[in-house]
Protein backbone atom coordinates (compact mmCIF):
# COMPACT_ATOMS: atom_id res chain seq x y z
CA UNK A 1 0.00 0.00 0.00
CA UNK A 2 1.40 3.35 -1.02
CA UNK A 3 1.29 6.05 1.64
CA UNK A 4 2.06 9.15 -0.48
CA UNK A 5 -1.60 10.26 -0.88
CA UNK A 6 -2.20 9.70 2.84
CA UNK A 7 0.79 11.90 3.71
CA UNK A 8 -0.22 14.50 1.13
CA UNK A 9 -3.67 15.02 2.65
CA UNK A 10 -3.17 14.20 6.33
CA UNK A 11 -0.51 16.88 6.93
CA UNK A 12 -2.73 19.77 5.73
CA UNK A 13 -5.65 18.24 7.66
CA UNK A 14 -3.53 18.34 10.81
CA UNK A 15 -2.79 21.99 10.01
CA UNK A 16 -6.50 22.67 9.71
CA UNK A 17 -7.12 21.10 13.11
CA UNK A 18 -4.35 23.26 14.58
CA UNK A 19 -5.74 26.53 13.20
CA UNK A 20 -9.28 25.68 14.29
CA UNK A 21 -8.01 24.91 17.81
CA UNK A 22 -6.00 28.14 17.82
CA UNK A 23 -8.99 30.18 16.64
CA UNK A 24 -11.27 28.60 19.25
CA UNK A 25 -8.70 29.29 21.98
CA UNK A 26 -8.48 32.95 20.94
CA UNK A 27 -12.29 33.22 20.84
CA UNK A 28 -12.58 31.76 24.33
CA UNK A 29 -9.95 34.18 25.59
CA UNK A 30 -11.93 37.02 23.99
CA UNK A 31 -8.89 38.13 21.99
CA UNK A 32 -9.47 37.96 18.27
CA UNK A 33 -6.53 37.75 15.92
CA UNK A 34 -6.15 40.59 13.43
CA UNK A 35 -6.29 39.82 9.72
CA UNK A 36 -2.59 40.54 9.13
CA UNK A 37 -1.49 38.59 12.20
CA UNK A 38 -3.65 35.68 11.07
CA UNK A 39 -2.05 35.86 7.63
CA UNK A 40 1.43 35.73 9.17
CA UNK A 41 0.52 32.75 11.33
CA UNK A 42 -1.03 30.98 8.33
CA UNK A 43 2.04 31.57 6.15
CA UNK A 44 4.44 30.31 8.81
CA UNK A 45 2.29 27.23 9.44
CA UNK A 46 1.85 26.53 5.72
CA UNK A 47 5.58 26.77 5.01
CA UNK A 48 6.47 24.65 8.06
CA UNK A 49 3.96 21.96 7.09
CA UNK A 50 5.23 21.99 3.50
CA UNK A 51 8.72 21.18 4.79
CA UNK A 52 7.17 18.48 6.98
CA UNK A 53 5.44 16.98 3.93
CA UNK A 54 8.69 16.97 1.96
CA UNK A 55 10.48 15.25 4.84
CA UNK A 56 7.69 12.69 5.36
CA UNK A 57 7.45 11.89 1.65
CA UNK A 58 11.21 11.44 1.37
CA UNK A 59 11.25 9.32 4.54
CA UNK A 60 8.44 7.19 3.13
CA UNK A 61 10.32 6.66 -0.14
CA UNK A 62 13.83 6.09 1.16
CA UNK A 63 13.39 4.51 4.58
CA UNK A 64 9.95 2.92 4.78
CA UNK A 65 9.85 1.94 1.10
CA UNK A 66 6.06 2.52 1.20
CA UNK A 67 5.98 5.34 -1.37
CA UNK A 68 7.07 5.31 -4.98
CA UNK A 69 9.59 7.85 -6.25
CA UNK A 70 8.10 9.71 -9.21
CA UNK A 71 10.95 12.09 -9.87
CA UNK A 72 9.70 15.65 -10.31
CA UNK A 73 6.10 14.49 -9.92
CA UNK A 74 6.87 13.92 -6.22
CA UNK A 75 6.35 17.66 -5.84
CA UNK A 76 2.62 17.15 -6.36
CA UNK A 77 2.61 15.42 -2.96
CA UNK A 78 4.42 18.31 -1.23
CA UNK A 79 2.46 21.51 -1.68
CA UNK A 80 -1.02 20.89 -0.30
CA UNK A 81 -0.14 22.64 2.97
CA UNK A 82 1.26 25.62 1.08
CA UNK A 83 -1.88 25.85 -1.04
CA UNK A 84 -4.00 25.66 2.14
CA UNK A 85 -2.56 28.93 3.50
CA UNK A 86 -5.68 30.95 2.50
CA UNK A 87 -7.89 28.40 4.28
CA UNK A 88 -5.70 28.55 7.37
CA UNK A 89 -5.82 32.35 7.27
CA UNK A 90 -9.60 32.55 7.04
CA UNK A 91 -10.07 29.94 9.76
CA UNK A 92 -7.74 31.68 12.22
CA UNK A 93 -9.17 35.15 11.62
CA UNK A 94 -12.80 34.06 11.37
CA UNK A 95 -13.00 31.59 14.23
CA UNK A 96 -11.11 33.88 16.61
CA UNK A 97 -13.86 36.48 16.14
CA UNK A 98 -16.67 34.16 17.21
CA UNK A 99 -18.37 35.01 20.47
CA UNK A 100 -18.43 32.19 22.98
CA UNK A 101 -20.92 31.97 25.82
Please provide the DSSP assignment of 24-90 as one string.
HHHHHTT-PPPHHHHHHHHHHHHHHHHHHHHHHHHHIIIII--S---GGGGGGGT-HHHHTHHHHHH
User: Count of CB atoms within 10 A of residue 87's CB?
Assistant: 15
Tell whether the model's pLDDT for residue 100 goes beyond 70: no
Q: pLDDT of 37-86, one tens digit each?
A: 999 999 999 999 999 999 999 999 999 999 988 877 778 888 999 999 99
* Residue 52 CA: distances (Å) to CA of 26, 42, 78, 92, 93: 25, 15, 9, 21, 24
DSSP single-letter state for residue 71: G
Amino acid sequence: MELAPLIAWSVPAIGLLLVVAFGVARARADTSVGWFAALGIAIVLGVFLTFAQVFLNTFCIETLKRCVSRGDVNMSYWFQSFMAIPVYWLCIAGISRLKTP
